[in-house]
């Protein structure tokens, strides 16, 4: 405040900022109308993040080797635009775009290379856009289709444990971890940040550890067929647990670690491509990501079906919804500062139709689980349950 204002204003709590707030909201709406929407196939679509990241020190949610590193200012010369050939936006005065592409098979609108990770960051469509809604629906439908094939897949990978081919044995054990422990598949060749990365809003200095890039140092064989895992996965979240495994899995792990140094690959004969190609041979379009989603959805659905009665109070039902989501967070190891965090599980891994149908059957207001904003992301699911009824089942006989 100026010296004159200080003489007039002695107590800020008595000031009325209503007009200022109104002015700022109107200013934001004008900016949003100009930059927060695009047209695809003639239809207006909302953009999720219409601003590039500001420069500054990187402050991750979880422990990260990049903490305190400087994020540089993003200039137009760093940005690649994706648009129609006749609708190229003008860059700011005295600037040029790095490149303009016309990829009509992708929905990203702009991207730039992050100076800390060397990976691309994207301007993408909002989850409420009809394109993202349809993409979301297809993800859960593919995971749901897996239920028809999961028994055979499990039978096949268990048979691999006793194969004479060491590659088959490694694949069988890796599949066991991906299915039973809901491990990410892992990759050594990641050069982009996906929608899920955007949702979880983090960066990794190195490719995060997943199943296929586990090293010998990441596991410890304990007594009585138990294995201790200790590694940093996606978003630098630590996975540290002792889990029981089947005897044949334990014996195979012994052979996989035999005569290897601690920095050697545990699964040195397979990679994420081999795992995903194997899964596609079991079911069209199937990848390890869908197995993880399937496990999350069935965990959520099973909990709700076994832990609550229709006669329970509303408070008990709401508590059950939160606890079911927490079970998914534990399965998928979704954490924030060493605490399990349910938002990523709720928004990225649980088929919203399960929760919406359950709430409808049990007379629980949907706002008790999804906020009004979150409901716009899952409009497709709300419309479907309103159309087909409240007795939607993700997996008829959960396994």
- Rounded distance between C-alpha atoms, residue 189 and residue 119, angstroms: 11
278 catalytic residue (yes or no)? no
Q: What angle do CA 102, 108, 109 make, to 5 degrees?
A: 65
Task: Judge contact between 200 and 193, C-beta under 8 A.
Answer: no
- Rounded distance between C-alpha atoms, residue 29 and residue 23, angstroms: 10
Task: Judge contact between 171 and 266, C-beta under 8 A.
Answer: no
Strand partners, 71: 56
**Which of 367, 323, 314, 375 lies closest to 345 in space, CA to CA?**
323
Decide: residue 90, CB within 10 A, 0-12 exposed, 13-18 middle, 19+ buried: exposed
Catalytic residue among 140, 349, 370, 377: 349
Distances (CA, A) of 396 to 91, 111, 140, 221, 317: 53, 42, 15, 37, 22
HEC-encoded secondary structure of 231-258: EECHHHCEEEEEEECCHHHHHHHHHHHC
Pairing of strands 70-71, 110-113: unpaired
CA 239 to chain centre: 16
Catalytic residues: 349
């Amino acid at each position: 405040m100026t010296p004159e204002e200080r003489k007039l204003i002695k107590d800020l709590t008595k000031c009325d900022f209503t007009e200022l707030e109104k002015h700022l909201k109107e200013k934001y709406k004008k900016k949003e109308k100009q930059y927060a929407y695009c047209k695809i196939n003639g239809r207006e679509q909302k953009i999720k993040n219409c601003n590039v990241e500001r420069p500054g020190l990187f402050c991750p949610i979880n422990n990260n080797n990049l903490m305190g590193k400087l994020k540089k200012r993003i200039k137009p010369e760093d940005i690649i635009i994706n648009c129609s050939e006749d609708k190229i936006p003008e860059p700011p005065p005295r600037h040029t775009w790095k490149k303009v592409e016309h990829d009509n098979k992708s929905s990203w609108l702009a991207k730039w290379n992050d100076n800390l990770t060397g990976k691309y960051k994207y301007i993408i469509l909002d989850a409420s856009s009809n394109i993202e809604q349809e993409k979301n629906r297809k993800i859960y439908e593919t995971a749901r289709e897996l239920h028809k094939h999961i028994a055979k897949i499990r039978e096949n990978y268990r048979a691999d444990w006793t194969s004479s081919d060491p590659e088959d044995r490694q694949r069988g054990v890796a599949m066991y971890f991906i299915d039973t422990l809901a491990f990410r598949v892992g990759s050594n060749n990641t050069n982009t940040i996906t929608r899920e990365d955007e949702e979880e809003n983090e960066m990794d200095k190195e490719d995060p550890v997943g199943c296929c890039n586990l090293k010998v140092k990441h596991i410890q064989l304990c007594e009585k067929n138990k294995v201790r895992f200790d590694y940093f996965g996606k978003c630098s979240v630590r996975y540290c647990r002792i889990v029981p495994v089947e005897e044949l899995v334990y014996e195979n792990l012994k052979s996989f670690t035999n005569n290897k140094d601690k920095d050697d690959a545990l699964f040195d004969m397979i990679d994420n491509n081999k795992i995903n190609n194997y899964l596609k041979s079991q079911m069209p379009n199937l990848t390890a990501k869908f197995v993880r989603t399937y496990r999350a959805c069935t965990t959520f659905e099973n909990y709700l079906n076994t832990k609550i009665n229709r006669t329970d109070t509303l408070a008990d039902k709401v508590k059950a919804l939160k606890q079911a989501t927490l079970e998914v967070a534990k399965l998928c190891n979704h954490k924030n500062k060493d605490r399990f965090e349910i938002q990523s599980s709720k928004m990225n891994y649980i088929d919203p139709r399960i929760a919406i149908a359950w709430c409808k059957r049990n007379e629980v207001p949907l706002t008790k689980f999804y906020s009004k904003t979150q409901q716009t992301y899952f409009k497709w699911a709300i419309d479907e349950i309103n159309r087909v009824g409240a007795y939607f089942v993700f997996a008829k006989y959960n396994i």
